[in-house]
């Protein structure tokens, strides 16, 4: 192995890159007071305990509006007692740490884990630059998968329910239900955590306010979904791509999502491979990517979720990888990960990538490739022995 190769697979070097890029991004934003997302998060808790509508506009404190559930107020709570700049920095580093831990829990070799971190490091920086929660959401989905593999359904369902009550995306963790060895335990654990986490915000607020907040949240998301289709910053999805490329703003989401969902569901016809770790990795990758590319709420920083799926897919490929597979990864790195940055030609990003939502294109192509692999790939029986993690 070359000196460069050894450096890129050095645990300490990768760790510094992972946290260093995010730290630099958030410090720059905090220094210029560009932490609007953090302020939205902060006031979710403040409004929860003050029993003020979580989804009303508050231009005196922040721009835009909140789209997170009442439970999120408890997640952000510890950070709200700090000065805003310090709170934003620690919030971003917390997100980076949670995703780092989640990736390190995957049953890959150390070198494979480090490669996933390296592939995702720049995309994480994009999320960190926007002071986003999405790294935590990616971690929630990954750890749901990890805990089910470990036969720890009780903790897996905790994460699935928490992710759902925070940002809805967490519900996709149910995609791993059929990997559970004790489905009865999974179901009762899911019901238990649903009840516990639903009422938990009531401890700092009131039952009436929290119940009303869930109704308000639904209305907020419905309104946001309608707005997303006319925004160049939102709807960076397959639907958004089609709408913009073909100048068809009235495209029904259902016409795209339903075929995508049916293709996603075809994974479950290969029942005999449910215990195979390579197959499970494919479904994990598919889930992470699907969650983003078929959501009208997806924006550039959301793609840390999808890009983690891309990295896991690439490290799960049979070796040696083909030239086409390397090309797909490079395509994703250039268009999805680097296009919003200064490393990419601004003219191309401004006139082609952004206006046509092409950031979604590489992930969509890779998701189609994953779907094909799920249906056709011959898996090694040896990998079935590695399903239960140690």
The whole-angstrom separation of Cα 293 and Cα 302 is: 10
pLDDT, tens digit, 9 for 90 and up, residues 61-91: 998 889 999 999 999 999 999 999 999 999 9
pLDDT band at 380, cuts 50/70/90? confident
SS3 content of the chain, % helix, strand, coil (to 5): 75, 0, 25
- Lowest mean per-residue pLDDT among 1-5, 65-69, 135-139, 224-228: 224-228
Closest by Cα among 242, 244, 228, 231 to 352? 244
Please give the DSSP secondary-structure letter assigned to residue 350.
I
φ and ψ at 369, to 5 degrees? -65, -40
Cβ-based burial of 319 (10 A; exposed 0-12, middle 13-18, buried ≥19): exposed
The whole-angstrom separation of Cα 17 and Cα 82 is: 26
Mean pLDDT within 130-143: 97
What does the pLDDT read at residue 232? 56
The whole-angstrom separation of Cα 165 and Cα 162 is: 5
State how far the alpha carbon of 317 is from the alpha carbons of 6, 185, 312, 325, in Å.
Answer: 21, 32, 9, 9
Residue 224: pLDDT over 80? no
Mean pLDDT within 240-246: 95
Cβ-based burial of 366 (10 A; exposed 0-12, middle 13-18, buried ≥19): buried
> Which residues have CB under 8 Å from 302's CB, separation 6+?
127, 132, 134, 236, 292, 295
Other C-beta atoms closer than 10 Å to the C-beta of 1 total: 8
Cβ-based burial of 63 (10 A; exposed 0-12, middle 13-18, buried ≥19): exposed
pLDDT, tens digit, 9 for 90 and up, residues 270-300: 999 999 999 999 999 999 999 999 999 999 9
What does the pLDDT read at residue 237? 96
**How many folded domains does the chain comprise?**
1
In this structure, are residues 14 and 117 in contact, taking their beta carbons and an 8 Å threshold? Answer: yes
pLDDT band at 230, cuts 50/70/90? low
Residue 213: pLDDT over 50? yes
DSSP letters spanning 254-292: HHHHHHHHHHHHGGGG-GGGTT-HHHHHHHHHHHHHHHH
In this structure, are residues 18 and 125 in contact, taking their beta carbons and an 8 Å threshold? Answer: no
Residue 354 sits at the vertex; the CA angle it makes with 371 and 296, to the nearest 5 degrees, is: 55
In this structure, are residues 152 and 186 in contact, taking their beta carbons and an 8 Å threshold? Answer: no
φ and ψ at 132, to 5 degrees? -95, 160
| Domain residue limits at 204 | 3-386
> Which residues have CB under 8 Å from 325's CB, separation 6+?
314, 317, 369
DSSP letters spanning 130-177: TT-SHHHHHHHHHHHHHHHHTT-HHHHHHHHHHHHHHHSGGGGGGGGG
Reading the block at residue 88, the tokens are 């934003």
pTM score = 0.94
What does the pLDDT read at residue 229? 57
pLDDT band at 382, cuts 50/70/90? low
Find the helix or strand (DSSP H, E) in which 361 lies: helix 361-376
Please give the DSSP secondary-structure letter assigned to residue 34.
-
Mean pLDDT within 37-42: 96
């Amino acid at each position: 192995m070359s000196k460069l190769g050894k450096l890129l697979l050095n645990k300490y070097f990768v760790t510094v890159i992972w946290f260093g890029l995010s730290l630099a991004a958030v410090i720059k934003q905090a220094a210029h007071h560009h932490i609007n997302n953090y302020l939205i998060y902060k006031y979710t808790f403040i409004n929860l305990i003050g029993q003020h509508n979580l989804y009303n506009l508050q231009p005196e404190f922040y721009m835009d509006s909140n789209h997170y559930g009442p439970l999120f107020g408890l997640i952000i709570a510890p950070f709200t007692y700090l000065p805003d700049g310090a709170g934003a920095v620690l919030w971003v580093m917390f997100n980076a740490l949670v995703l780092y831990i989640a990736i390190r829990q995957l049953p890959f070799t150390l070198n494979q884990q480090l490669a996933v971190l390296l592939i995702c490091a720049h995309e994480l920086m994009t999320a960190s630059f926007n002071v986003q929660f999405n790294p935590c959401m990616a971690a929630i989905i990954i750890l749901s998968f990890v805990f089910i593999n470990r036969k720890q359904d009780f903790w897996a369902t905790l994460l699935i329910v928490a992710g759902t009550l925070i940002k809805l995306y967490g519900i996709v963790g149910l995609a791993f239900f059929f990997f559970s060895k004790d489905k009865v335990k999974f179901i009762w654990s899911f019901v238990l955590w649903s009840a516990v986490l639903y009422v938990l915000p009531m401890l700092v607020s009131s039952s009436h306010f929290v119940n009303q907040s869930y109704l308000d949240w639904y209305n907020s998301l419905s309104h946001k979904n309608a707005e997303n289709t006319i925004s160049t910053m939102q709807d960076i999805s397959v639907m958004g791509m089609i709408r913009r490329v073909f100048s068809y703003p009235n495209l029904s989401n259902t016409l795209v999502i339903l075929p995508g969902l049916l293709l996603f569901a075809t994974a479950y016809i290969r029942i005999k491979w449910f215990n195979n770790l390579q197959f499970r990795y494919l479904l994990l990758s598919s889930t992470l990517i699907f969650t983003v590319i078929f959501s009208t709420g997806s924006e550039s920083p959301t793609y840390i979720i999808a890009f983690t799926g891309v990295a896991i897919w690439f490290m799960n490929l049979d070796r040696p990888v083909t030239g086409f597979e390397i090309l797909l990864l490079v395509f994703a790195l250039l268009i999805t990960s680097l296009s919003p940055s200064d490393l990419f030609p601004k003219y191309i990003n401004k006139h082609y990538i952004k206006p046509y939502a092409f950031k979604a294109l590489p992930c969509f192509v890779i998701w189609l490739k994953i779907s094909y692999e799920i249906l056709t790939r011959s898996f090694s029986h040896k990998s079935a022995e590695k399903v239960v993690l140690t």
